Structure 1
Amino acid sequence: MWKLIVLLFLSFPCLAAGTLKIATEANYPPFEYLDESGQFQGLDIDIANALCQQMKVQCEFLHKGFDRLLPGLQFNNFDAVIAALNPTPARRKLVAFSDLYYDSGAVFVARMNRYQSHHDFSGQSIGVQNGSVHLRYLIDKASMERVLVVPYHSYLTAFVDLQNDNVDLVLVDYAVAKVWLAQPDNKEFAIVGETLIDPHYFSEGYAIAVNKNNSALLEQLNQALQQIKLSGEYERIISRYLD
């Protein structure tokens, strides 16, 4: 019994030391990004900091590749992941998820007036982030079987290629598309068709991931999330980025 307790303690040392080590992929505004001074910013970062304040620990953020986030969490390289993650059935087999903190949906972005609907995409190239639910959607859906799927390490690179006509469309979260389209240089682009709300991929929402063996941290995060919602801090953070 004591051996088990010691092993569990050694598996999650950061939180015990008063620090919550949180990994993210900081190329996904407005959820997470690095500012000009290299500091972590974004909706997810503010949510995480508010949760850490409730839990009376210090947040330490780590910038990792998106497709390395969950494997790193499984090996206890960090305590939690907040990175606009949909808790899909496949991901739930790998890690545990907190209560939802944001309702998500996905959209296609392309040059304005080039497409009328999702039915016009045959033979077109679509940029998407590697390891994302958007990539899985494009691979799984029969309606997308005649498109060329182009995975990117970061959505920022995908959008650059869209601007340079190296891909025809990008599939991305609605909030990310909204922020990108609001930039002055992107007025020639628009959302194509309706927001995708397929419950198997997009509509459940975003949650924080933790190692399956760290149920104590999961409970702490859920309690802290409830507290920031009750205090009004949660709504202040959401409105700061998405109004």
Structure 2
Amino acid sequence: MHKPLRNLVLSLAGALALVASAPGWSQGSDLLGRINANKEITIATEARYAPFEYVDNGKIVGYDADLMAYVLKSLPDVKVKQLDLPFQGLLPGLDAKRFDIVVTAVTVNKDRASHFAFTLPVADATTGVLLRSNETSIKSPDDLNGKIVGSQTGSAQLQALIALDKKLKDAGGPGLKQIKQYVAFDEAYADLAVGRLDAVAQSLANLGPLMKSRPGVFAVLPQTIGPKSYFAWVVRKDADSASLLKLFSDGIARANQDGTMKKLQQKWFGSTMDVPTELPAPSI
């Protein structure tokens, strides 16, 4: 081999060896590979959604937090960097690659599923209607005609409320008097309690623990609004995130099968719920 050519080959080989040995890099590396190499995963959460996740003594706790800890046993050497952010910033931040996965109660719907990938379901997300306990004029969703109802900005529960408003109007009623949007559900609960709202649209899974924590303040309408839906966690919809999605979904499946999920539901909700072992096609 000519000396210049030989030197070029050796230089290229050395460069490739140096790159291959760099931290976080490997041939065919994906997001999970980089997480393992860097020994850190960045997770985004909205810790104002009890009992799924909330802050207690400076620590994020709740159903999702416990389930996440169970799933992350598959990554024993990886440190968790968890960010507490407003719900409205979670999916845009994931899209912008500011974190690796969203672990919070995100309702699976058609719009989100067209752009993001969801894990297996972690809980029922069907929308219910929260009332004051002394409310006597609202006995069915039809009675929400002319009422002021609140929900969280950007939530699937807000979309269910908008759909209900259209349904009421299509049936010849006046529809909702006003739909008020809130950054967090706690603000809506406070306005409902003092009479600034007539009702709040929220997932049933959240409403039981809320009423237990504030006895005598609230009641739940017997009928739900909108179709059956589920909460899941979210990653980017690309090949780079596919193995991370599988790791989390496999962990959720184990928790569902070995009874861990039911134990955590009993702990955080005071009851259990059926969660499918596959992700159903969203109907909303």
TM-score grouping bracket, smaller chain normalisation: 0.7 to 0.9
1:212 paired to 2:232? no
Q: 2:218 aligns with which of 189, 197, 208?
A: 189
- 1:65-214 pair list within 5 angstroms: 65-112=86-133, 113-114=135-136, 115-141=138-164, 142-145=166-169, 146-147=175-176, 148-184=178-214, 186-196=215-225, 198=227, 203-213=228-238, 214=241
Offset, 1:11: 10
Report what 1:224 is aligned to: 251
How far residue 29 of structure 1 moved from its aligned partner, in angstroms, is 0.6
How many Å separate the matches in 2 of 1:138 and 1:223? Answer: 33
Does 2:57 match 1:28? no
Q: In structure 2, do the counterparts of structure 1 residues 71 and 157 end up closer, same or farther at CA, with 3 Å as the change threshold?
A: same
TM-score, normalization by structure 1: 0.87
In terms of mean alpha carbon deviation, does 208-217 or 223-232 score higher? Answer: 223-232
Q: What one-letter code is carried by the residue in structure 2 that aligns with 1:208? A: W
Q: Which runs of 5+ in 2 are unaligned?
A: 1-18, 20-24, 170-174, 271-284
Whether contact under 8 Å (1:49, 1:59) holds in the other structure is no
* Deviation for aligned residue 1:230: 3.7
Structure 1 residues without counterparts, runs of 5 or longer? none
Q: Report the 3-state secondary structure (helix = DSSP H, G, I; strand = E; otherwise coil) of the residue aligned with 1:175.
A: helix
**Equivalent AA in structure 1 for residue 58 of structure 2:** G
Are residues 60 and 233 of structure 1, via their aligned partners in 2, closer, same or farther at CA, if it must alter by over 3 Å?
farther
**In 2, Cα distance between the equivalents of 1:189 and 1:229?**
31
Residue 149 and residue 164 in structure 1: after superposition, are their counterparts in 2 closer, same or farther (change >3 A)?
same
Q: Distance in 2 between matches of 1:229 and 1:118?
A: 33
- Deviation, structure 1 residue 104: 2.5
Moved over 6 A (4+): 4-8
Q: Give the structure with higher Rg (CA).
A: 2
1:171 to partner: Cα distance: 0.7
* Identity of matched residues, %: 26
Instruction: For 1:177, give the aligned amino acid.
Output: L
Distance apart, 1:223 and its partner CA: 1.8
Instruction: Answer yes or no: is the 8 Å Cα contact 2:193–2:217 preserved in 1.
Output: no
CA distance, structure 1, for counterparts of residue 94 and residue 37 of structure 2: 17
CA distances 1:41-61 after superposition (whole Å, capped 9, x unpaired): 110111111111123333332
1:36-89 per-residue CA deviation (whole Å, 9 max, x = no partner) reads: x22101101111111111233333321111111111111111111122112211
By how many angstroms is 1:107 displaced?
1.0
Task: Find the aligned partners of 1:143 and 1:29 in 2 and give their Cα distance.
Answer: 30
Q: CA RMSD in A?
A: 2.4
Give the C-alpha shift of residue 117 in structure 1.
1.1
Q: Please report the TM-score for the alignment, with normalisation by the length of structure 2.
A: 0.75
The Cα shift of 1:211 comes to: 1.0
